[in-house]
Amino acid sequence: MLHVVIMAGGSGTRFWPASRRMRPKQLLSLVADRTLLATTVDRVRPLAPPERIWVVTSEALAEATRDCLPSIPDDRVLGEPVGRDTAACVGWAADVVSRDDPDAVCLVLPADHVIADEHRFRTSMEVGVAWVEAHGGLLTFGIRPTRPETGFGYLRVGDARGGRDGLTVHELDRFVEKPDEATARSYLEDGSYLWNSGMFAWRAADLRSEIARQLPLLAAGLDRIAAAGAEAGRDVLEKVYPTLPKTSVDYGIMEGAARRWTLPVDFGWSDVGSWPALGELLAAGPSGVRTRGRVVALDASDCIVVGDRVTVAAVGIRDLVVVATPDAVLVVPVADAQRVREVVSALEDLGWDEVL
Amino acid sequence: MLHVVIMAGGSGTRFWPASRRMRPKQLLSLVADRTLLATTVDRVRPLAPPERIWVVTSEALAEATRDCLPSIPDDRVLGEPVGRDTAACVGWAADVVSRDDPDAVCLVLPADHVIADEHRFRTSMEVGVAWVEAHGGLLTFGIRPTRPETGFGYLRVGDARGGRDGLTVHELDRFVEKPDEATARSYLEDGSYLWNSGMFAWRAADLRSEIARQLPLLAAGLDRIAAAGAEAGRDVLEKVYPTLPKTSVDYGIMEGAARRWTLPVDFGWSDVGSWPALGELLAAGPSGVRTRGRVVALDASDCIVVGDRVTVAAVGIRDLVVVATPDAVLVVPVADAQRVREVVSALEDLGWDEVL
């Protein structure tokens, strides 16, 4: 049966000061009144009942994550003792899911993306899931690019293999690192490159076979954890998990998989990876000022202004991101918004932990 | 005897969002850890004991003002039922002071200025006070200008009449409205123009004589209030005060006074009239970034950044004022900082009273 595994372990420094260590991006209501995580769960509810929706987060965030998802049984929220990148995460989740359902098919999704066309999203997921159920192998969903984005990795599609509902599964040719602008333009024109979305489908058993074949150390660690069982095994989990090899699904498992697929999809996707990316999801007011919360903008232009429980007055400013929370504020040019990481580093260096 | 009368009725919209209706500029700790009002009281304590220091504020702010000044007897904080400009304020204060001390000499000072050289300040006040004690008339202290400021009114000095300690009392020739830049430059070169500081000295009886002569309606209202006495007279005060003519000391009393003096002074004075004026009082960090509170500035230049119980991260910005409080934030170019008044108007129009 289909199990949805939502990866909700992000630390989300890119949304400081709205995001904090204990309130990362997926637990923020950046776009709507619900958190990104709750919206992700809502979106997949027509695909699986609550007991087959699993959320993997850090142990530190498990309680906040459960609080955010009252409809999901508490034991479906899995807390990693430490983050060991996505290969360990999906491997562990596959084992936990298989304990209930040895024939489980996993649909693995990030917790913090925004999707405009939910119906099209679910159809796409169903096509991918049905493919791996029927054919095995590991499938990654690829987003049809809409701009020459240099901030994402890409997938190169191979031969078409089949599909339905206007969707065609391809062999996955290879993963491609983030390109420069000229290369990104060529990818856009070429048509055979997709954005790497971090959404996957596979039978749990097929994933574990590939881990066993390609990452024997990871497989051995996961076996030890699985052998210890669910309840009594917490000690083993906490002992073994930190020793698991750190690698990503993409490079650690997908790239070397014997049978690997990609399904090109298009349903109005955003990974909401930065304040400017969020800005694109907010309605633009006069002069391109995009706001969330209580904002007074006078002669401001091309700004993103967010008041999180704070009233913000933006007067005569342009091309700025302004984000205000009750205890911390960020002001940075839109073009430099990625420097929020430097701010978080500086705050760490200063020891100002109360705003981290 | 000398009584110091501190006028603390300002509403201070120019320091929004730090200043609010119930926490105007004089009750803010803008520069030091003490409020501007408490600092003003500290500054005059060597001139008069607490029972001869009077603070006139609005009735609405009387309690907060008393809380801010534990060393001043509660009955020395006078609450105006409504603001009726400075002529009514100093007239009422003269009457209240005279009830205790018919021979009172009043030194009238704003509550919200910053003065660098306190010793020189006190010497200057003593010279002015001694002059009116000896010669009568109304004296205004004039600040020797240090730049061609267009934001202040000016005083034109007349003939020198005497003095001591390197200070010379002059006849006051006339008040001059805020000049344009060219005129301000000519005033600076001319040397006979001073900034109008709003600091005065007079015998209480001399002030009341001038009010009686020039503003008979004001005098009549003040007489009714005085006749009603201190305690039982609160009802009369609340009934009559709102009917008093609204005019300033400068134009209503000083300009037409029979004997009027000015004492040119120079003790590192700022009226701290705007965020940029405050900025000049803050130490400049690298690239001209002036900060107060917890601020992380990365590649910012020529900014004024104030974090009032809020951590502010300013990245790659220039020529901006950023002021953050727990419930409201202002971002505006330094050159447009006076537009904070428009923000306050906009908030009033929106009915967002909780941040006013």
CA atoms lying within 13 Å on the CB side of residue B331: 32
Of B296, B316, B343, the CB nearest to A347: B296
Query: Strands A328-333 and A320-324: what pairing?
Result: antiparallel
Can you tell me the distance from the alpha carbon of B310 to that of B296, in angstroms, rounded to the nearest whole number?
11
State residue A11's pLDDT score: 75
Of A324, A339, A343, the CB nearest to B329: A324
- DSSP lists the bridge partners of residue A313 as A296, B330
Q: Does A122 touch chain B (CB under 8 A)?
A: no
| Residues of B with Cβ-Cβ distance to A322 under 8 angstroms | 329, 331
pLDDT in tens, A71-126: 999 999 999 999 999 999 999 999 999 999 999 999 999 999 999 999 999 999 99
- B327/A309 CB distance under 8 A: yes
CB pairs under 8 A between A and B: 126
B90: enclosing H helix or E strand: helix B85-100
- B310/A327 CB distance under 8 A: yes
| Residues of B with Cβ-Cβ distance to A317 under 8 angstroms | 320, 331-333
Collapsed DSSP state (helix, strand, coil) of residue A72: coil
Single out the residue of B184, B199, B182, B127 nearest to residue B153, CA to CA.
B184
Per-residue confidence band for A137, with pLDDT thresholds at 50, 70 and 90: very high
State residue B350's pLDDT score: 97
Other CB atoms within 10 A of residue B46 CB: 11
- A312/B329 CB distance under 8 A: yes
- A333/B320 CB distance under 8 A: no
Within 8 A by CB and 6+ apart from A70, the residues are none
- DSSP lists the bridge partners of residue B260 as B138
Which pLDDT tens digits describe chain B residue by residue (356 residues)? 999 999 998 777 899 999 999 999 999 999 889 999 999 999 999 999 999 999 999 999 999 999 999 999 999 999 999 999 999 999 999 999 999 899 999 999 999 999 999 999 999 999 999 999 999 999 999 999 999 999 899 999 999 999 999 999 999 999 999 999 999 999 999 999 999 999 999 999 999 999 999 999 999 999 999 999 877 788 999 999 999 999 999 999 999 999 999 999 999 999 999 999 999 999 998 899 999 999 999 999 999 999 999 999 999 999 999 999 999 999 999 999 999 999 999 999 999 999 99
Of A17, A298, A324, the CB nearest to B343: A298
Region of B291 please: left (phi>0), alpha (psi -120 to 50) or beta.
beta
Domain ranges for chain B, please list them: 2-270, 275-355
- B315/A332 CB distance under 8 A: yes
Region of A61 please: left (phi>0), alpha (psi -120 to 50) or beta.
alpha
DSSP collapsed to 3 states, B198-227: EEEEEEHHHHHHHHHHHCHHHHHHHHHHHH
DSSP secondary structure letters along A271-333: ---SHHHHHHHSPB-GGG-EEESSEEEES-BS-EEEESSSEEEEES-BSEEEEE-SSEEEEEE
Collapsed DSSP state (helix, strand, coil) of residue B267: coil
- B315/A352 CB distance under 8 A: no
For residues B81 and B237, is the Cβ–Cβ distance under 8 A? yes
Suggest the residue from B329, B334, B339 to mutate for an interface test with chain A (most A CBs closer than 10 A).
Answer: B329
Token look-up 């999906």 returns A90
DSSP secondary structure letters along A118-152: HHHHHHHHHHHHHHHHHH-SEEEEEEPPSS--SSS
Tell me: pLDDT of A231 over 80. Answer: no
For residues A287 and A315, is the Cβ–Cβ distance under 8 A? no
pLDDT in tens, A249-259: 999 999 999 99
| Residues of A with Cβ-Cβ distance to B316 under 8 angstroms | 332-333, 336, 339
For residues A107 and A132, is the Cβ–Cβ distance under 8 A? no
Structure token pair of residue A155: 């997938």
Can you tell me the distance from the alpha carbon of B273 to that of B280, in angstroms, rounded to the nearest whole number?
11
Q: How far is B179 from chain A (nearest CA, A)?
A: 26
Q: What is the mean pLDDT of residues A274-281?
A: 94
Stated pTM of the model: 0.91
| Residues of B with Cβ-Cβ distance to A331 under 8 angstroms | 312-315, 317, 320, 322, 331
Suggest the residue from B304, B306, B315, B323 to mutate for an interface test with chain A (most A CBs closer than 10 A).
Answer: B315
Suggest the residue from A291, A304, A331 to mutate for an interface test with chain B (most B CBs closer than 10 A).
Answer: A331
What is the complex's ipTM, to 2 decimals? 0.91
Topology annotation, domain B2-270:
Spore Coat Polysaccharide Biosynthesis Protein SpsA; Chain A (3.90.550)
For residues A322 and B275, is the Cβ–Cβ distance under 8 A? no
Structure token pair of residue A87: 């290969």
Per-residue confidence band for A230, with pLDDT thresholds at 50, 70 and 90: confident
Chain B, residues 293-352, CB within 8 A of chain A, namely 294, 296, 298, 307, 309-317, 320, 322, 324, 326-333, 336, 339-340, 342-343, 346-347, 350, 352
- B311/A327 CB distance under 8 A: yes
Region of A330 please: left (phi>0), alpha (psi -120 to 50) or beta.
beta
- DSSP lists the bridge partners of residue A155 as A175, A194
Long-range CB pairs of B282-287 (<8 Å, 24+ gap) are: B282/B31
- Considering only CA atoms, give the Rg of chain A: 21
Tell me: pLDDT of A232 over 90. Answer: no
| Residues of A with Cβ-Cβ distance to B309 under 8 angstroms | 327
| Residues of B with Cβ-Cβ distance to A307 under 8 angstroms | 329
Can you tell me the distance from the alpha carbon of B275 to that of B343, in angstroms, rounded to the nearest whole number?
14
For residues B270 and B114, is the Cβ–Cβ distance under 8 A? yes
State residue A111's pLDDT score: 97
Per-residue confidence band for A13, with pLDDT thresholds at 50, 70 and 90: confident
Q: What is the mean pLDDT of residues A129-155?
A: 96
